[in-house]
Amino acid sequence: MFKDRARIDAQGGRGGSGAISFRREKYVPRGGPAGGDGGNGGDVVLVVDADRRDLGAIQRSPHVQAERGGHGGGKKRRGRDGASRELQVPLGTQVFDEAGTLIADLAHPGARTVLAHGGRGGQGNSRFATAVRQAPRVCEPGLPGEHVTVELRLKLVCDAALLGFPNAGKSSLLRRMSNAEPKVAEYPFTTLAPVLGTVEAVDGRQLVVADVPGLLEGASEGVGLGHEFLAHLERAAVFVHVIDGSEGDAGERFHAIDSELRQYGHDLAGRRQIVFLNKSDVDPDPAFDVDDQRILDTITGSALVGTGVEELRESLFRHVTRVVTPSDELADYLVYRPRVAARRGFRILRTESGWSVVAASPELLEREAVDSALRDAGARTGQLVELGDEVFEIT
Ligand SMILES: Nc1nc2c(ncn2[C@@H]2O[C@H](COP(=O)(O)OP(=O)(O)O)[C@@H](O)[C@H]2O)c(=O)[nH]1
Ligand SMILES: [Mg+2]
Protein backbone atom coordinates (compact mmCIF):
# COMPACT_ATOMS: atom_id res chain seq x y z
CA MET A 1 0.00 0.00 0.00
CA PHE A 2 1.20 3.50 -0.84
CA LYS A 3 1.87 5.48 2.34
CA ASP A 4 1.89 9.23 2.00
CA ARG A 5 1.86 10.01 5.71
CA ALA A 6 4.06 9.07 8.64
CA ARG A 7 4.92 10.32 12.09
CA ILE A 8 8.45 10.40 13.39
CA ASP A 9 9.68 10.66 16.89
CA ALA A 10 13.24 11.92 16.53
CA GLN A 11 15.84 12.19 19.24
CA GLY A 12 19.14 13.91 18.66
CA GLY A 13 22.15 12.32 20.35
CA ARG A 14 23.32 13.62 23.70
CA GLY A 15 26.62 15.45 23.77
CA GLY A 16 29.49 13.71 25.52
CA SER A 17 30.77 15.05 28.85
CA GLY A 18 33.94 16.97 29.27
CA ALA A 19 36.64 15.23 31.31
CA ILE A 20 38.40 16.12 34.52
CA SER A 21 42.00 15.10 34.19
CA PHE A 22 45.47 16.38 35.02
CA ARG A 23 48.73 15.99 33.27
CA ARG A 24 50.91 13.43 34.90
CA GLU A 25 54.61 13.89 34.52
CA LYS A 26 57.53 12.34 36.26
CA TYR A 27 58.48 14.28 39.42
CA VAL A 28 55.48 16.60 38.97
CA PRO A 29 52.87 15.52 41.47
CA ARG A 30 50.12 17.38 39.73
CA GLY A 31 50.41 18.91 36.25
CA GLY A 32 47.99 21.32 34.60
CA PRO A 33 44.40 20.41 33.78
CA ALA A 34 44.17 18.21 30.69
CA GLY A 35 40.53 17.10 30.50
CA GLY A 36 39.27 17.13 26.91
CA ASP A 37 35.84 18.19 25.61
CA GLY A 38 33.01 15.80 24.91
CA GLY A 39 32.00 15.17 21.30
CA ASN A 40 28.75 16.53 19.91
CA GLY A 41 25.70 14.30 19.66
CA GLY A 42 24.54 13.24 16.18
CA ASP A 43 21.61 14.87 14.36
CA VAL A 44 18.53 13.18 12.95
CA VAL A 45 18.36 14.30 9.32
CA LEU A 46 15.85 13.85 6.50
CA VAL A 47 17.35 13.48 3.02
CA VAL A 48 15.54 13.24 -0.29
CA ASP A 49 16.16 10.01 -2.12
CA ALA A 50 14.70 10.35 -5.61
CA ASP A 51 14.25 6.58 -5.90
CA ARG A 52 12.07 6.36 -2.85
CA ARG A 53 8.38 6.16 -3.60
CA ASP A 54 6.57 6.57 -0.34
CA LEU A 55 6.85 6.91 3.44
CA GLY A 56 6.17 3.25 4.19
CA ALA A 57 9.66 2.53 5.52
CA ILE A 58 9.43 5.46 7.93
CA GLN A 59 5.99 4.46 9.06
CA ARG A 60 7.31 1.02 10.00
CA SER A 61 10.05 2.37 12.26
CA PRO A 62 8.97 5.77 13.57
CA HIS A 63 11.36 6.06 16.52
CA VAL A 64 14.72 7.35 15.49
CA GLN A 65 17.67 8.20 17.63
CA ALA A 66 21.06 9.55 16.64
CA GLU A 67 24.26 8.45 18.34
CA ARG A 68 25.54 10.20 21.44
CA GLY A 69 28.87 11.99 21.55
CA GLY A 70 31.86 10.33 23.19
CA HIS A 71 33.18 11.66 26.50
CA GLY A 72 36.31 13.72 26.60
CA GLY A 73 39.51 12.05 27.74
CA GLY A 74 42.84 12.86 29.35
CA LYS A 75 45.62 14.69 27.51
CA LYS A 76 42.93 17.02 26.13
CA ARG A 77 41.52 14.27 23.96
CA ARG A 78 38.19 15.33 22.51
CA GLY A 79 35.37 12.79 22.49
CA ARG A 80 34.17 11.43 19.18
CA ASP A 81 31.16 13.16 17.58
CA GLY A 82 28.07 10.97 17.52
CA ALA A 83 27.04 9.74 14.06
CA SER A 84 23.99 11.37 12.53
CA ARG A 85 21.04 9.28 11.48
CA GLU A 86 19.92 9.98 7.94
CA LEU A 87 16.43 8.98 6.91
CA GLN A 88 15.65 8.70 3.21
CA VAL A 89 12.36 10.24 2.16
CA PRO A 90 10.74 10.65 -1.26
CA LEU A 91 10.91 13.88 -3.25
CA GLY A 92 8.05 16.14 -2.17
CA THR A 93 8.03 15.23 1.52
CA GLN A 94 6.76 17.99 3.77
CA VAL A 95 7.43 18.23 7.49
CA PHE A 96 4.84 19.56 9.94
CA ASP A 97 5.37 20.26 13.61
CA GLU A 98 2.91 19.24 16.31
CA ALA A 99 0.92 22.44 15.87
CA GLY A 100 0.44 21.55 12.19
CA THR A 101 2.82 24.23 10.91
CA LEU A 102 4.88 23.47 7.84
CA ILE A 103 8.53 23.56 8.88
CA ALA A 104 10.25 22.08 5.85
CA ASP A 105 9.39 21.21 2.28
CA LEU A 106 11.83 18.83 0.64
CA ALA A 107 10.85 19.54 -2.92
CA HIS A 108 14.08 19.29 -4.84
CA PRO A 109 16.49 16.42 -5.40
CA GLY A 110 19.15 16.29 -2.73
CA ALA A 111 17.22 18.48 -0.28
CA ARG A 112 17.87 17.77 3.40
CA THR A 113 16.77 19.12 6.73
CA VAL A 114 17.82 18.49 10.31
CA LEU A 115 14.85 17.28 12.33
CA ALA A 116 16.51 17.02 15.72
CA HIS A 117 19.90 18.52 16.49
CA GLY A 118 22.32 16.60 18.62
CA GLY A 119 23.38 18.14 21.93
CA ARG A 120 26.66 19.99 22.21
CA GLY A 121 29.51 18.22 23.96
CA GLY A 122 30.59 19.62 27.34
CA GLN A 123 33.93 21.27 27.99
CA GLY A 124 36.71 19.51 29.81
CA ASN A 125 38.49 20.99 32.82
CA SER A 126 41.40 22.22 30.71
CA ARG A 127 39.02 24.97 29.53
CA PHE A 128 38.40 26.24 33.01
CA ALA A 129 41.94 27.02 34.04
CA THR A 130 42.56 30.65 34.95
CA ALA A 131 45.45 32.46 36.57
CA VAL A 132 43.84 32.13 39.96
CA ARG A 133 42.39 28.68 39.45
CA GLN A 134 45.12 26.59 37.98
CA ALA A 135 43.74 23.21 38.87
CA PRO A 136 40.00 23.40 38.17
CA ARG A 137 38.13 20.32 39.25
CA VAL A 138 35.05 21.06 37.17
CA CYS A 139 33.81 19.97 33.78
CA GLU A 140 30.67 20.44 31.76
CA PRO A 141 28.27 17.60 31.07
CA GLY A 142 27.04 17.20 27.51
CA LEU A 143 23.72 18.76 26.56
CA PRO A 144 20.79 16.54 25.68
CA GLY A 145 19.82 16.32 22.00
CA GLU A 146 16.59 17.83 20.73
CA HIS A 147 13.53 15.66 20.87
CA VAL A 148 10.78 16.35 18.33
CA THR A 149 7.70 14.65 17.03
CA VAL A 150 6.75 15.62 13.51
CA GLU A 151 4.36 14.50 10.85
CA LEU A 152 5.58 13.84 7.32
CA ARG A 153 3.25 14.23 4.38
CA LEU A 154 4.20 13.40 0.86
CA LYS A 155 2.99 15.76 -1.81
CA LEU A 156 4.26 14.61 -5.18
CA VAL A 157 6.38 16.94 -7.22
CA CYS A 158 5.27 16.93 -10.86
CA ASP A 159 4.74 19.31 -13.78
CA ALA A 160 1.44 17.92 -14.92
CA ALA A 161 -1.07 15.47 -13.50
CA LEU A 162 -3.62 13.22 -15.16
CA LEU A 163 -7.16 13.62 -14.02
CA GLY A 164 -10.38 11.81 -14.82
CA PHE A 165 -12.83 9.01 -14.08
CA PRO A 166 -11.63 5.47 -13.58
CA ASN A 167 -11.27 3.67 -16.93
CA ALA A 168 -10.89 6.93 -18.85
CA GLY A 169 -7.48 5.69 -19.93
CA LYS A 170 -5.13 7.73 -17.70
CA SER A 171 -2.71 4.92 -17.00
CA SER A 172 -2.71 3.81 -20.63
CA LEU A 173 -1.92 7.37 -21.68
CA LEU A 174 0.97 7.72 -19.26
CA ARG A 175 2.39 4.43 -20.51
CA ARG A 176 2.16 5.73 -24.06
CA MET A 177 3.93 9.00 -23.53
CA SER A 178 6.45 8.32 -20.79
CA ASN A 179 8.88 5.79 -19.42
CA ALA A 180 6.45 4.84 -16.66
CA GLU A 181 4.59 1.57 -16.51
CA PRO A 182 1.45 2.12 -14.52
CA LYS A 183 -0.91 -0.80 -14.22
CA VAL A 184 -3.74 -0.58 -16.69
CA ALA A 185 -7.21 -1.58 -15.56
CA GLU A 186 -5.92 -3.50 -12.59
CA TYR A 187 -7.92 -4.54 -9.62
CA PRO A 188 -8.46 -1.25 -7.77
CA PHE A 189 -6.99 -2.35 -4.45
CA THR A 190 -3.61 -3.03 -5.96
CA THR A 191 -3.32 0.12 -8.02
CA LEU A 192 -3.89 2.74 -5.40
CA ALA A 193 -0.51 4.32 -5.78
CA PRO A 194 0.43 7.39 -7.79
CA VAL A 195 2.86 6.77 -10.63
CA LEU A 196 5.28 9.33 -11.97
CA GLY A 197 6.48 9.25 -15.56
CA THR A 198 9.10 11.32 -17.33
CA VAL A 199 7.97 12.67 -20.68
CA GLU A 200 10.70 13.71 -23.11
CA ALA A 201 10.54 16.28 -25.86
CA VAL A 202 12.49 15.96 -29.11
CA ASP A 203 14.82 18.72 -27.98
CA GLY A 204 15.69 16.80 -24.82
CA ARG A 205 13.52 18.71 -22.38
CA GLN A 206 11.79 16.59 -19.80
CA LEU A 207 8.76 16.95 -17.63
CA VAL A 208 7.23 14.83 -14.96
CA VAL A 209 3.64 13.67 -15.29
CA ALA A 210 1.73 12.03 -12.44
CA ASP A 211 -1.01 9.42 -12.71
CA VAL A 212 -2.80 9.85 -9.42
CA PRO A 213 -5.59 7.47 -8.48
CA GLY A 214 -8.27 8.38 -6.06
CA LEU A 215 -10.65 10.70 -7.76
CA LEU A 216 -13.73 8.49 -7.68
CA GLU A 217 -11.36 5.60 -8.24
CA GLY A 218 -12.71 2.44 -6.72
CA ALA A 219 -15.85 4.28 -5.65
CA SER A 220 -18.05 1.81 -7.47
CA GLU A 221 -16.28 -1.03 -5.67
CA GLY A 222 -17.04 0.68 -2.37
CA VAL A 223 -13.44 1.71 -1.77
CA GLY A 224 -14.56 5.31 -1.73
CA LEU A 225 -11.21 6.99 -1.56
CA GLY A 226 -12.70 10.40 -1.91
CA HIS A 227 -10.23 13.20 -1.77
CA GLU A 228 -7.42 11.42 -0.05
CA PHE A 229 -5.03 11.55 -2.97
CA LEU A 230 -5.91 14.95 -4.34
CA ALA A 231 -3.10 16.57 -2.38
CA HIS A 232 -0.74 15.06 -4.93
CA LEU A 233 -2.26 17.28 -7.60
CA GLU A 234 -1.48 20.48 -5.74
CA ARG A 235 1.96 21.03 -7.20
CA ALA A 236 1.06 20.27 -10.81
CA ALA A 237 1.14 23.33 -13.06
CA VAL A 238 -1.27 21.81 -15.57
CA PHE A 239 -3.84 18.99 -15.50
CA VAL A 240 -4.42 16.61 -18.35
CA HIS A 241 -8.09 15.86 -18.06
CA VAL A 242 -8.67 12.48 -19.66
CA ILE A 243 -12.23 11.75 -20.68
CA ASP A 244 -13.56 8.56 -22.26
CA GLY A 245 -15.03 10.09 -25.43
CA SER A 246 -16.72 6.91 -26.51
CA GLU A 247 -19.46 7.13 -23.92
CA GLY A 248 -21.18 10.15 -25.41
CA ASP A 249 -21.37 12.40 -22.34
CA ALA A 250 -17.94 13.97 -22.29
CA GLY A 251 -19.24 17.36 -21.16
CA GLU A 252 -21.02 15.92 -18.12
CA ARG A 253 -17.94 13.96 -17.17
CA PHE A 254 -15.87 17.10 -17.33
CA HIS A 255 -18.23 18.91 -14.94
CA ALA A 256 -18.44 15.96 -12.54
CA ILE A 257 -14.67 15.88 -12.06
CA ASP A 258 -14.61 19.65 -11.89
CA SER A 259 -17.02 19.71 -8.97
CA GLU A 260 -14.74 17.29 -7.10
CA LEU A 261 -11.90 19.73 -7.62
CA ARG A 262 -14.00 22.57 -6.30
CA GLN A 263 -14.93 20.59 -3.19
CA TYR A 264 -11.30 19.87 -2.48
CA GLY A 265 -10.29 23.53 -2.71
CA HIS A 266 -6.60 24.53 -2.57
CA ASP A 267 -7.12 26.22 -5.93
CA LEU A 268 -7.29 22.93 -7.85
CA ALA A 269 -10.38 24.17 -9.64
CA GLY A 270 -8.47 27.17 -10.93
CA ARG A 271 -5.73 25.11 -12.55
CA ARG A 272 -5.30 25.11 -16.35
CA GLN A 273 -6.30 21.93 -18.14
CA ILE A 274 -5.58 20.13 -21.36
CA VAL A 275 -8.59 17.97 -22.26
CA PHE A 276 -7.80 14.64 -23.89
CA LEU A 277 -10.88 12.97 -25.39
CA ASN A 278 -9.72 9.36 -25.35
CA LYS A 279 -10.77 6.20 -27.17
CA SER A 280 -11.07 7.81 -30.57
CA ASP A 281 -10.63 4.35 -32.05
CA VAL A 282 -14.15 3.70 -30.79
CA ASP A 283 -15.63 7.16 -31.45
CA PRO A 284 -13.44 9.26 -33.73
CA ASP A 285 -15.48 12.44 -33.31
CA PRO A 286 -16.83 12.77 -29.77
CA ALA A 287 -19.05 15.72 -28.90
CA PHE A 288 -17.57 18.13 -26.34
CA ASP A 289 -19.15 21.53 -26.01
CA VAL A 290 -17.56 22.88 -22.83
CA ASP A 291 -16.37 26.44 -23.20
CA ASP A 292 -14.06 27.23 -20.35
CA GLN A 293 -11.18 29.65 -20.00
CA ARG A 294 -9.10 27.10 -18.14
CA ILE A 295 -9.04 24.72 -21.10
CA LEU A 296 -5.82 25.31 -23.00
CA ASP A 297 -6.30 22.67 -25.69
CA THR A 298 -8.77 19.95 -26.53
CA ILE A 299 -7.23 16.92 -28.19
CA THR A 300 -9.04 13.88 -29.55
CA GLY A 301 -6.99 10.70 -29.56
CA SER A 302 -6.45 7.17 -28.39
CA ALA A 303 -4.05 5.90 -25.77
CA LEU A 304 -4.53 2.43 -27.17
CA VAL A 305 -3.64 3.22 -30.78
CA GLY A 306 -1.42 6.21 -30.14
CA THR A 307 -3.36 8.87 -32.05
CA GLY A 308 -3.17 12.36 -30.61
CA VAL A 309 -0.43 11.42 -28.16
CA GLU A 310 2.24 13.42 -29.96
CA GLU A 311 -0.12 16.39 -30.07
CA LEU A 312 -0.67 16.06 -26.34
CA ARG A 313 3.06 15.93 -25.70
CA GLU A 314 3.58 19.12 -27.71
CA SER A 315 0.75 20.85 -25.90
CA LEU A 316 2.31 19.92 -22.56
CA PHE A 317 5.70 21.30 -23.45
CA ARG A 318 4.08 24.46 -24.76
CA HIS A 319 2.12 25.11 -21.59
CA VAL A 320 4.34 23.84 -18.83
CA THR A 321 6.98 26.49 -18.46
CA ARG A 322 8.31 25.60 -15.07
CA VAL A 323 9.90 22.22 -15.45
CA VAL A 324 10.64 20.13 -12.40
CA THR A 325 13.85 18.42 -13.39
CA PRO A 326 16.46 21.18 -13.01
CA SER A 327 16.70 21.45 -9.26
CA ASP A 328 17.45 25.17 -9.03
CA GLU A 329 14.05 25.98 -10.54
CA LEU A 330 12.56 24.53 -7.44
CA ALA A 331 14.47 26.53 -4.89
CA ASP A 332 11.33 28.57 -4.24
CA TYR A 333 9.59 25.50 -2.98
CA LEU A 334 12.03 24.92 -0.22
CA VAL A 335 10.58 26.79 2.69
CA TYR A 336 12.68 25.72 5.56
CA ARG A 337 12.15 27.40 8.86
CA PRO A 338 14.71 26.17 11.31
CA ARG A 339 13.42 26.13 14.82
CA VAL A 340 15.35 28.51 17.00
CA ALA A 341 16.95 26.62 19.83
CA ALA A 342 16.08 28.22 23.13
CA ARG A 343 19.15 30.03 24.37
CA ARG A 344 19.66 29.50 28.01
CA GLY A 345 21.50 32.12 29.94
CA PHE A 346 23.54 29.72 32.06
CA ARG A 347 25.87 26.76 31.98
CA ILE A 348 25.84 23.69 34.13
CA LEU A 349 29.14 22.33 35.39
CA ARG A 350 30.03 19.12 37.20
CA THR A 351 32.14 19.72 40.31
CA GLU A 352 33.75 17.40 42.83
CA SER A 353 31.06 18.00 45.39
CA GLY A 354 28.10 18.17 43.00
CA TRP A 355 27.05 20.79 40.49
CA SER A 356 27.59 24.42 39.75
CA VAL A 357 25.40 26.76 37.72
CA VAL A 358 27.36 29.55 36.08
CA ALA A 359 25.49 32.61 34.86
CA ALA A 360 26.21 36.26 34.19
CA SER A 361 23.24 37.25 36.35
CA PRO A 362 22.29 34.32 38.60
CA GLU A 363 19.51 36.32 40.30
CA LEU A 364 17.57 36.45 37.02
CA LEU A 365 17.54 32.71 36.41
CA GLU A 366 14.29 30.84 36.48
CA ARG A 367 14.55 28.10 38.99
CA GLU A 368 12.41 25.73 36.93
CA ALA A 369 14.59 26.01 33.84
CA VAL A 370 17.68 25.45 35.98
CA ASP A 371 16.13 22.42 37.67
CA SER A 372 15.17 20.76 34.44
CA ALA A 373 18.58 21.46 32.92
CA LEU A 374 20.21 19.92 35.98
CA ARG A 375 18.04 16.82 35.63
CA ASP A 376 18.92 16.65 31.94
CA ALA A 377 22.57 16.76 32.85
CA GLY A 378 22.12 13.78 35.15
CA ALA A 379 21.81 15.48 38.56
CA ARG A 380 20.10 13.44 41.25
CA THR A 381 18.13 14.18 44.42
CA GLY A 382 20.34 15.03 47.37
CA GLN A 383 23.24 16.42 45.36
CA LEU A 384 24.49 19.95 46.02
CA VAL A 385 24.29 22.79 43.54
CA GLU A 386 26.21 26.07 43.73
CA LEU A 387 24.41 28.99 42.20
CA GLY A 388 26.03 32.39 42.67
CA ASP A 389 26.73 32.67 46.40
CA GLU A 390 24.11 30.11 47.26
CA VAL A 391 24.27 26.37 47.64
CA PHE A 392 21.09 24.34 47.42
CA GLU A 393 20.23 20.69 47.49
CA ILE A 394 18.33 18.99 44.69
CA THR A 395 14.98 17.81 46.02
N1 LIG B 1 -10.63 1.19 -27.07
C2 LIG B 1 -9.81 1.86 -26.27
N3 LIG B 1 -9.62 1.43 -25.03
C4 LIG B 1 -8.76 2.11 -24.24
C5 LIG B 1 -8.08 3.28 -24.69
N6 LIG B 1 -7.33 3.75 -23.69
C7 LIG B 1 -7.51 2.91 -22.63
N8 LIG B 1 -8.37 1.92 -22.97
C9 LIG B 1 -8.83 0.82 -22.13
O10 LIG B 1 -9.63 1.35 -21.08
C11 LIG B 1 -9.45 0.59 -19.89
C12 LIG B 1 -9.02 1.50 -18.76
O13 LIG B 1 -7.74 2.04 -19.04
P14 LIG B 1 -6.81 2.59 -17.91
O15 LIG B 1 -5.62 3.18 -18.58
O16 LIG B 1 -6.55 1.58 -16.86
O17 LIG B 1 -7.73 3.74 -17.33
P18 LIG B 1 -7.57 4.58 -15.98
O19 LIG B 1 -8.44 3.92 -14.97
O20 LIG B 1 -8.04 5.95 -16.31
O21 LIG B 1 -6.12 4.56 -15.58
C22 LIG B 1 -8.40 -0.46 -20.22
O23 LIG B 1 -9.05 -1.66 -20.52
C24 LIG B 1 -7.71 0.10 -21.44
O25 LIG B 1 -7.15 -0.90 -22.24
C26 LIG B 1 -8.33 3.70 -26.04
O27 LIG B 1 -7.81 4.69 -26.55
N28 LIG B 1 -9.20 2.96 -26.76
MG1 LIG C 1 -5.32 3.91 -13.77
Query: Residue 101: which CATH number?
Result: 2.70.210.12
Most confident region among 38-47, 93-102, 209-218 by mean pLDDT? 38-47
Give the residues across from 102 on adjacent strands: 96
Any idea what the CATH number is for the domain that residue 383 is in?
Answer: 3.30.300.350
Average pLDDT over residues 78-87: 97
- Residue of the CA atom closest to atom 12 of ligand 1: 167
Choosing from 173, 174, 184, 281 the residue with most ligand 1 atoms within 8 A of its CB, the one to mutate for a pocket test is: 184
Expressed in angstroms and rounded, the spacing between residue 342 Cα and the centre of ligand 2 is 49
Considering every ligand atom, which ligand is closest to the CA of 164? 1
Name the residue with the closest Cα to ligand 1, atom 26.
279
Which ligand 1 atom lies nearest to the CA of residue 305?
27
The predicted structure's pLDDT at residue 194: 81
For position 29, what pLDDT does the model report? 67
Whether ligand 1 lies within 6 angstroms of the CB of 170 is answered as yes
Q: Indicate whether residue 297 lines ligand 1 (CB < 6 A).
A: no
As a whole number of angstroms, the distance between CA 223 and CA 32 comes to: 74
* CA 163 – ligand 2 centroid, Å: 10
Which CATH number characterizes residue 199's domain? 3.40.50.300
Inside any domain, residue 328: no
- Distance, in Å, from the CA atom of 213 to the CA atom of 228, rounded to the nearest integer, reads 9
What is the SS3 assignment for 23-67? CCECCECCCCECCCCCCCCCCEEEEECCCCCCCHHHHHCCEEECC
Q: Give the range of the structural domain holding residue 172, as residue numbers without chain letter.
A: 160-323
Question: Quick check: is 277 in a domain?
Answer: yes
Check whether residue 150 and residue 164 sit in a common domain.
no
Give yes or no: residues 112 and 145 share one domain.
Answer: yes
Q: What per-residue confidence (pLDDT) applies to 271?
A: 93
Would you say residue 258 lies in a domain?
yes
Identify any residues that bridge with 79 across adjacent strands, giving them in sequence order. none
User: Of 323, 356, 386, at which residue does a domain stop?
Assistant: 323
Q: Is the pLDDT of residue 34 over 60?
A: yes
CA distance to 199, 206, 263, per residue, from 203 (Å): 12, 9, 39
CB contact at 8 A, 362 and 125: no
Pocket test for ligand 1, best of 163, 172, 177 (most atoms within 8 A of CB): 172
Determine, yes or no, domain membership for 391.
yes
Which ligand 1 atom sits nearest the alpha carbon of residue 165? 20
Average pLDDT, the chain: 85
Same domain, residue pair 99 and 236: no
Q: Is residue 98 situated within a structural domain?
A: yes
Q: How far is the CA of 269 from the centre of ligand 2 (A)?
A: 21
Same domain? For 209 and 358 the reply is: no
In this predicted model, what pLDDT tens digit does every residue of 255-291 receive, in sequence order?
A: 988 888 888 888 889 999 999 999 999 999 999 999 9
Residue 30 sits in the same domain as residue 45: yes
From 278, 293, 323, the end of a domain falls on 323
Residues 174 and 306 in one domain: yes
Q: Per-residue pLDDT averaged across 353-372, rounded?
A: 86
The ligand minimizing its distance to the Cα of 172 is 1
Between 277 and 132, the more confident residue is 277
247 CB less than 6 Å from ligand 1? no
Confidence tier at 83 by pLDDT (50, 70, 90): very high
* Ligand 1 binding pocket includes 167 (Cβ within 6 Å): yes
Q: How far is CA 20 from CA 37, 245, 384, in A?
A: 10, 81, 18
Q: What's the structural domain count of the chain?
A: 3
CA distance 364 to 348: 15
Alpha carbon of 173 to ligand 1 centroid (Å): 8
Assess if residue 199 is contained within a domain. yes
- Tell me: do 166 and 298 sit in the same domain: yes
Lowest mean pLDDT among 80-84, 93-97, 238-242, 317-321: 317-321
Asked if residue 329 belongs to a domain, the reply is no
Q: Give the CA count within 13 Å in the CB-facing half-sphere of 235.
A: 27
Q: Is the CB of 307 under 6 A from ligand 1?
A: no
Asked if 14 and 127 sit in the same domain, the reply is yes
- Percentage of the chain exceeding pLDDT 90: 49
Nearest ligand to residue 281 Cα = 1
Instruction: Pick 10 or 261 by higher pLDDT.
Output: 10
Q: State yes or no: pLDDT of 9 exceeds 80.
A: yes
The domain boundary, picked from 323, 355, 385, lies at 323
* 38 neighbors 57 (Cβ within 8 angstroms): no
- Statement: residue 62 has pLDDT above 50: yes
- The answer on 313 and 380 residing in a single domain is no
Pocket test for ligand 1, best of 162, 167, 283 (most atoms within 8 A of CB): 167
Residues 148 and 106 in one domain: yes
191 Cβ closer than 6 Å to some ligand 1 atom: no
pTM: 0.77
> φ and ψ at 105, to 5 degrees?
-130, 105
Give the C-alpha separation, 109 to 93, whole Å. Answer: 11
Determine how many CB atoms are found less than 10 A away from the CB of residue 134. Answer: 10
Q: Whose CA is nearest to atom 8 of ligand 1?
A: 169
Looking at ligand 1, which atom is closest to the CA of residue 173?
A: 15
Q: Is the distance from the beta carbon of residue 300 to the nearest atom of ligand 1 less than 6 Å?
A: no
Same domain, 296 and 279: yes
207 domain-assigned: yes
**Higher local confidence (pLDDT), 185 or 338:** 185
Beta strand 102-106 with 93-96 is antiparallel
Residue 338, pLDDT > 50, answer no
Q: Which ligand 1 atom is at minimum distance from the Cα of 301?
A: 27
Q: What is the average per-residue pLDDT within 165-192?
A: 75
At 156 the three-state DSSP class reads coil
My answer on whether 276 and 299 are in the same domain is yes
The model's pLDDT over 200-259, given as tens digits with 9 standing for 90+, comes to 887 778 888 998 875 665 444 444 455 667 888 888 989 999 999 999 899 999 998 888
Sign of the CA dihedral with 21 first, then 25, 28, and 29 last? positive
